[in-house]
Amino acid sequence: MKRGQVSLEYLVAFFLILIVFISVLTFTSPRNELNEELKRGTKNAALCNKLSLLFSSLASSNKKTEVTVSVTKDVNIFGGSINIEDYYCYFLGEAEDVNLLKGDIKATYEDGIITVENV
């Protein structure tokens, strides 16, 4: 009788530990997804700010300038703003509206307008 009783106590303890383990996994999984989303947003913000600084520098140079840079995501430029996935940022100057694919892009400043194209 004592042998069965001890086994039942171990079984109950095992299931309690299993329930705690499953609870911990349930709460950490959404946090991992949130962390990945934050990392992606940070990368998008860094790329957007890099391009914004580049275009603003081109516009302030007031001479014909050409720069080639590599981008890791698709980029949309319209109305003085840059859109990378769900992140937007703005730049000084006037640019043609364009959708760019990831890879190398060439930005040219001439006659007050920034022209951007895939290379």
Per-residue pLDDT 10s for the chain (119 aa) are 455 565 778 888 889 999 888 888 777 777 778 888 888 889 999 999 999 999 998 888 878 889 999 999 999 999 889 999 889 999 988 888 999 999 999 999 988 889 999 98
| Confidence at residue 28, expressed as pLDDT on a 0 to 100 scale | 73
Q: Domain locations in the chain? A: 2-118
Q: Which two tokens stand for residue 47?
A: 């790329």
d(CA 51, CA 70): 10
DSSP secondary structure string for all residues of the chain: -HHHHHHHHHHHHHHHHHHHHHHHHHHHHHHHHHHHHHHHHHHHHHHHHHHHHHHHHHHHH-S-EEEEEEESS-EEEETTEEEETTEEEE-SS-B--EEE-SEEEEEEEETTEEEEEE-
| Confidence at residue 105, expressed as pLDDT on a 0 to 100 scale | 94
